[in-house]
Each structure stands twice: as C-alpha cells, then as structure tokens.
Amino acid sequence: MGHVSFSQLGQHCKNNGECSFVAFSECRNSKCTCIEKYVASTRGSRCLLVAKEVRSPCVDDAQCTRQLGGASGCMDGFCECKEMYQLKNDTNKCVRDMRK
C-alpha cells in the first residue's frame, strides 16, 4: 500500500494535495505556503486570514503585522496598534506616536 505524505507549512511539496493537511495552503515554489490573503500563524502551524485594518478580529499577531506592520498585534481578539503607536491612515500602518 502506498504511503501518502503530508507536509507542514514551509516544508517541501510536489503538489497541493501534500499541503492539504494545513487549511488554506498550497504548494508554491515547492514549499507549502499560505494562499493569497492568508498568513502563517506565529508558530507556522496554520494559515489565518490577514486582517485588513485596526479592530479586525484575530487570534494571532501575524494576522495583524502583515497588513498593519510590526507595531501592531492581536489584543483581546482584535488587531490594535501597540502602546506608543497609532494608525497612520494613508499607509494603514501603525507608526510611532510623535506626540509628546
């Protein structure tokens, strides 16, 4: 009987079926990668929907940082800018608060 191989995110693959162990992933450039509009969780174990804006629901910091930058995070289930940072509307990124 043939052995079916399943790959985790970042591992080598030959086709999308090998990545089916992780929902919302595909085999791209011979590695299991999250599909468009999804990002690998901080631990790299699953693909999660990228947050579009501050106050978008989340379960992992990675969902926020992809769109809002490294100064954002998932706090109490929603993407927020970290303390001392604020959203800059024209870039949709959390930036250092310049107010004194």
Residue 98: pLDDT band with limits 50, 70, 90: confident
Confidence check: pLDDT of 2 > 50: no
Contact 25, 9 (CB under 8 A): yes
Domain boundaries along the sequence of the chain: 1-38, 50-100
- pLDDT at 1 > cutoff 90: no
Q: What are the CA-CA distances from residue 71 to residues 29, 94, 96, 100 (Å)? A: 30, 6, 8, 18
Cα distances from 37 to residues 51, 62, 67, 71, in angstroms, run 9, 12, 10, 20
